[in-house]
Structure 1
Amino acid sequence: MIRLESIGKQNGRQIVFIEASAAIQRGEKVGLVGPNGAGKTTLFRMINGEEQPDEGQVSVDRGVSIGYFSQDIGDMAGRSAVAEVMDGVGPVSALAAEMSELEAAMGDPERADEMDAIIERYGEVQGKFDELDGYALDGRAREVLAGLGFSAEMMDGDVSKLSGGWKMRVALARILLMRPDMLLLDEPSNHLDIESLIWLESFLNGFEGAILMTSHDREFMNRIVGKIIEIDGGTLTSYSGDYEFYRQQRALAEVQQQAQFERQQAMLAKEIAFIERFKARASHAAQVQSRVKKLDKIDRVEPPKRQQTVRFEFQPAPRSGEDVATLRNVHKSYGARRIYEGLDFQVRRGERWCVMGVNGAGKSTLLKLVAGASEPDDGSVARGPSVRMGYFPQHAMELLDGESTILQWLEDAFPQAGQAPLRALAGCFGFTGDDIEKKCRVLSGGEKVRLVMARMLFDPPNFLVLDEPTNHLDIATKQMLIEALSRYEGAMLFVSHDRHFLAALSNRVLELTPEGMQAYGGGYVEYVERTGQEAPGLRN
């Protein structure tokens, strides 16, 4: 269905692909993986026809329709979310818009003299709309939007008033409604909460066409794909299996290649030593020449390519007392909307609470109250006297000053620290050498997250409050963060939509629902086993 045949591609001085080949068959669900900057988006654009390879060929079977969801969603304005989603399907959307205009005209007394023509035209448009199954399409559009977390009010509201994250969901819904022969999905799990992620998993598992997707959510990818294509060093390598199988196979291949490399190096060293020892002796000239020719013909084994990842290092924090944070009879409202009425909750030393709840349940509000970023309307919030807190807010990247360099931003936060410890801190979070002189505005999303975390952890906290800390982190960096936090000895209170993160780090679950609060002993894995649901209100 899709064939990439010995493609070569260069962007400026960067060589992206060198004689790379791969194929995607009808109905295959494929995960595309590789380090940041490896060329994943370039590959999507070549398959979609937006770019051409410099060498080789990208072949798409005749008649195959492709739906491409990218992070560049363009402008959205002037119509409802439902209309925006339906517009991707073609003429049905235009007919729906004209029907809406004609309905308004029929109710306009100033156009009474045109009424016969308006009614006649409305009948024609409505007939075409019905022929194209427009009424069912409207229902399908609303079903997709509801799955992605939209309320009825949001569906019919002006799309231009939505935040960037919600516009991303509209763009994704538009592609899903198209039901093309192939979906190209570039990070579809970004900006989704856990409920929407689980709905999207179900939708994609039931999708009959082919899928090629990237995602920083390993659990999401594992549940959908049955094949992995890896981009590394300009080449494409295919693995049959999900992401976990790919990781195992790649690790095994690295071990085997390293062993093969070391064996060949030992053999080469032995041959070179013989040549050096006997090259001046006439009696051994023939043997020396024979071995020189042998070495010239040998195909050299390269050492395995090691994908570089950031290794987070948390400095040991002082021990806190037993009572870390205590909320008593807390009330909190935003206008007429009540979030909490008489909330009682406590975090104790060694506890790692993950907070679950549907949109609007008050997850971020709870973290803000505990961190002191918001005050309760009534009741009390107290932290223990020996508690040293580190708070990572949901929009933590907004804390950065775009015109400051990494070093300047850290120096502004810790003016008494001196450059040496701050450079060491930056190095622990992947900013080495000249990187520390980069302006904050040029950093990638993942780099910004790492920098905010570095500042938060300079003075080691014994209580971490983290609101979606894994947003913008790739799979490898996310795994490094999980490994570092698993060694962290302080208390934690966190919100995340990443189920691997939840399962690896939590030992308590706090579920927030409209009916109230429910606490569960044991972590996220035990929560799923006990409740039969991966998120509040969603049954397995």
Structure 2
Amino acid sequence: MIRLDNISKQNGHQILFIEASAALQRGEKVGLVGPNGAGKTTLFRMITGEEDPDEGQVGVDRGVTIGYFSQDVGDMSGRSAVAEVMDGAGPVSEVAAELKALETAMGDPDQADDMENLIERYGEVQARFEELDGYALDGRAREVLAGLSFTQEMMDGDVGALSGGWKMRVALARILLMRPDAMLLDEPSNHLDLESIIWLEQFLRGYEGALLMTSHDREFMNRIVGKIIEIDGGSLTTYSGDYEFYAQQRALNEKQQQAQFERQQAMLAKEISFIERFKARASHAAQVQSRVKKLEKIEKVEPPKRRQSVQFDFPPAPRSGEDVATLKNVHKSYGSRAIYEGLDFQVRRRERWCVMGINGAGKSTLLKLIAGSAEPDNGTVAISSTVKMGYFAQHAMDLLDGDRTVFESLEDSFPQAGQGSLRTLAGCFGFSGDDVEKKCRVLSGGEKARLVMAKMLYDPPNFLVLDEPTNHLDMATKEMLITALSQYEGTMLFVSHDRHFLAALSNRVLELTPEGVHQYGGGYTEYVARTGQEAPGLHG
């Protein structure tokens, strides 16, 4: 249905693809993986025709409709979210627009002479609209938006008033409503809360078209795809299976290739030493010649391409007292909306609380109260004097000095640290080589998040308060962070929509619901087992 045949592509000095081939068949669900900058977005753009390969062919079967969701959301304003979503629903939205224009024309006294033609055309267009299930479109658009956690007010309000993250959801809803033959989704789970991710997972599993998607959410990918296409070193390799299978297969291939490489190196060393030893002796001349010829013909085994994943040993955090944070009878409202009415909550040493709750339940508010960046209206928030807190919030990225480079920014925070140790730290968080010379103002959201996180963990606090720490991280950095935090001795309180992160790091769950606050001993995995749901807002 969609084929990439021997494509080559270069961006500036960077070679992205060299004679790479892959295919997407009808109804297949495929995950596209590869390190940052490997060319995933370029691949999508070549399929949609926004870019051409330098060599080779991209073939799309005739009549195949493609819906492409990318992180670049255009300007949206002046219409309701529902209208914006319906506008992208492919042919049906064009028919709807013509119906509207005809209705206006029929009510226009200046066009009275043409009334017969207008009425006839209206009948034809209306029949086509019904055939395309147009009258159900509004309902379907609302269903998709509700699945992505929109309230009725947000659906009918001006889309221009929404934040960037919510506009992303509108753009995603357009593609989902369109139900094209093939969907290309670039990081669809990036700005979603857990409830929306789980809804999207079910939607995509039920979708009958072909799907090619990238995602940094391992759990999400595992539940949807049955095939993986990997971009690495300019080539495309296809694995049949989910992400977990791919990761195991890749590790196995690497191991085998390494063993093969080592065996060949040993054999070559032996041959070379024989040649060196006997090349001066006339009596061995024939043997030496035949071995030299043999060596020239051997096809060299390459060592496996190692993914740069640096592990960092974070120094231990200073020990805190047993009681880390205590909230007593806390009330907090925003305008007429009460978030907490008499909340009691205690965090003790070495507990790792994950905070669950639907949008607006007060997850970030709780973190702000504990971090001291918000005050309760009533009640008390007490933090032990032995606590050294590290607070990671989405706005922390705005506090970086745009004129400093990544490396200078680390040096400013740790003037006593050695260059080598700061370079290792930068490498762990994905800043290798010249990346450390980038000015903070040109960093992407993900790079800023990684820099802020690196600063926080180099000299670790004994109480980490993290609001969506994995939002912009790729899988490799996320794994590194999980490994580092699982060895962390301090206390944690965090909000995350990444189930792999939640399951790996939590040992307590605080659930905020309209019916009240529930506390669960045991981590996220036990919470799922006990409640039978992966998130509080799911109405099964």
> What TM-score comes out, normalization by structure 1 length?
0.93
1:352 corresponds to 2:352: yes
Taking a change above 3 Å as real, the CA distance of residues 412 and 303 of structure 1, as seen in their structure-2 partners, is closer
8 Å Cα contact 1:4/1:20 also seen in 2: yes
Superposed displacement of residue 440, structure 1: 0.5
1:538 aligns to what SS in structure 2? coil
Asked if 2 retains the 8 angstrom alpha-carbon contact of 1:406 and 1:437, the reply is yes
Within 1, Cα distance between the matches of 2:521 and 2:259? 46
- Counterpart-to-counterpart distance in 2, 1:97 and 1:160: 21
Cα distance between partner residues in 1 of 2:206 and 2:434: 48
Q: Quick one: distance in 2 between partners of 1:263 and 1:325?
A: 58
Amino acid at match of 1:86: M
Kindly indicate whether residue 397 of structure 2 is the aligned counterpart of residue 401 of structure 1: no
Residue in 1 that maps onto 2:152: 152
User: 1:377 and 2:392 equivalent?
Assistant: no
CA contact (8 A) 1:227 1:241 kept: yes
Q: Distance in 2 between matches of 1:231 and 1:481?
A: 23
1:196 counterpart = 2:196: yes
C-alpha contact 1:313 1:429 (8 A) present in aligned 2: no
Q: Distance between the aligned counterparts of 1:57 and 1:420, measured in 2?
A: 46
How far apart are residue 160 of structure 1 and its match?
Answer: 1.1
Find out whether 1:36 has 2:36 as its counterpart.
Answer: yes
Q: CA deviation at 1:123?
A: 7.0
Counterpart contact for 1:482–1:501, Cα < 8 Å = yes
Match of 1:338 in 2: 338
SS of 2:326's equivalent in the other structure is: strand
1:311 to 2:333 alignment:
no
Find the residue that maps to 1:533 and give its secondary structure. Answer: coil
Distance 1:421 1:16 in 2: 32
Deviation, 1:105, is 11
Matched with 1:461 is 461
1:361 paired to 2:361: yes
Whether the 8 Å CA contact 2:402–2:441 is kept in 1: the answer is: yes
Structure 1 residues 272 and 462: CA distance shift in structure 2, 3 A: same
State the Cα distance separating 1:314 from its structure 2 match.
2.0
Note if 1:245 corresponds to 2:245. Answer: yes
Counterpart Cα distance in 1 of 2:6 and 2:428: 39
Matched residues in 2 for 1:240 and 1:420: separation? Answer: 41
1:133 maps to 2:133: yes
1:420 is displaced (CA, Å) by 7.6
Whole-angstrom CA distance in 2 between matches of 1:5 and 1:370: 55
Amino acid at match of 1:521: G
Q: How far apart are the structure 2 equivalents of 1:366 and 1:86?
A: 37
Query: CA 1:176 to 1:227, structure 2 compared with 1: closer, same or farther past 3 Å?
Result: same
Deviation at 1:416, TM superposition (A): 7.4
Counterpart contact for 1:311–1:429, Cα < 8 Å: no
Q: Does residue 39 of structure 2 align to residue 16 of structure 1?
A: no
Which amino acid is 1:84 matched to? E
Secondary structure at 2:224 match in 1: coil
1:259-274, aligned counterparts within 5 Å?
259-274=259-274
| Residue of structure 1 equivalent to 2:225 | 225
User: Is residue 2:520 matched to residue 1:516?
Assistant: no
CA distance in 1, matches of 2:70, 2:115: 40
Q: Which moved more, 1:52-61 or 1:528-537?
A: 52-61
Change (3 A) 1:105 1:187: same
Structure 1 427/243 Cα, relative in aligned 2: closer, same or farther at 3 Å?
A: closer
Q: Distance in 1 between matches of 2:425 and 2:241?
A: 39
Matched position secondary structure for 1:465:
strand
Structure 1 position 130, deviation (Å) = 3.9
Alpha-carbon deviation of 1:398? 1.7
Q: Does the CA-based 8 Å contact 2:6-2:55 persist in structure 1?
A: yes
Distance 1:418 1:287, change over 3 A: closer
Q: 2 CA distance for matches of 1:186 and 1:84?
A: 20
Alpha-carbon distance between aligned partners in 2 of 1:343 and 1:183, rounded to the nearest angstrom: 45
- For the pair 1:494 / 2:494, whether they are aligned, the reply is yes
Q: Is the 8 A contact 1:311 1:430 kept in 2?
A: no
Q: Is the 8 A contact 1:404 1:440 kept in 2?
A: yes
Number of residues paired by the alignment? 537
Asked if structure 2 preserves the Cα contact closer than 8 Å seen for 1:17 and 1:235, the reply is yes
- Quote how far apart the aligned CAs of 1:26 are: 1.0
Residues in 2 aligned to 1:60 and 1:114: alpha-carbon distance in whole angstroms: 44
Larger displacement relative to structure 2 (307-316 or 79-88): 307-316
Q: Following the alignment from structure 1 to structure 2, what is the Cα–Cα distance between the partners of residues 454 and 286?
A: 61
Q: What amino acid is aligned across from residue 528 of structure 1 in structure 2?
A: V
In the TM superposition, what whole-angstrom CA distance separates every residue of 1:269-305 from its partner, at most 9, and x where no partner exists? 0000000111111111110010000000000000000
More deviation, 51-60/230-239: 51-60
**Structure 2: gaps of 5 or more residues:** none
Change (3 A) 1:261 1:342: same
Kindly tell me: are residues 380 and 114 of structure 1, through their superposed partners in 2, closer, same or farther at Cα, counting changes over 3 Å?
farther
**If the length of structure 2 is used for normalisation, what is the TM-score?**
0.93
Supply the distance in 2 between the matched residues of 1:56 and 1:423 (Cα, whole angstroms). Answer: 40
Q: Contact 2:429–2:477 at 8 Å: present in 1 too?
A: no
Is contact 1:339–1:362 with CA below 8 Å preserved after alignment? yes
**1:415-466 C-alpha deviation (Å, 9 max, x unpaired):** 6778787566545544456543320022233321121012223432100000
Q: Deviations over 1:242-290 (max 9, x none)?
A: 0000000000000000000000000000000000111111111110010
Equivalent residue, structure 2, for 1:54: 54
User: Residues 430 and 477 of structure 2 are in contact (CA less than 8 Å); yes or no, is this contact kept in structure 1?
Assistant: no
In 2, distance between residues paired with 1:411 and 1:201? 43
| Preserved contact between residue 330 and residue 343 of structure 1 (Cα < 8 Å) | yes
Contact 2:89/2:177, CA 8 A, preserved across alignment: yes
Residue 277 of structure 1: aligned partner? 277
CA-to-partner distance for each residue in 1:97-127, whole Å, 9 max, x for gaps? 6777899999x9xx99999999987976766
- Residue 396 (structure 1) shift: 2.6
Q: Mean Cα displacement is larger for which, 344-353 or 58-67?
A: 58-67
Distance 1:102 1:413 in 2: 65
Tell whether the 8 Å contact from 2:102 to 2:122 is kept in structure 1 after alignment. Answer: no
RMSD (Å), alpha carbons:
2.6
| Map of 2:85 onto structure 1 | 85
Partner in structure 2 of residue 256 of structure 1 = 256
- Conservation of the 8 A alpha-carbon contact between 2:309 and 2:428: no
CA distance in 2, matches of 1:276, 1:507: 63
What residue number does 2:438 align with?
438
Which residue does 2:206 correspond to in 1? 206
Give the direction of change, closer, same or farther, for the CA distance of 1:510–1:104 in structure 2 (3 Å limit).
farther
Report percent identity of matched pairs: 80
Q: Secondary structure at the match of 2:190?
A: coil
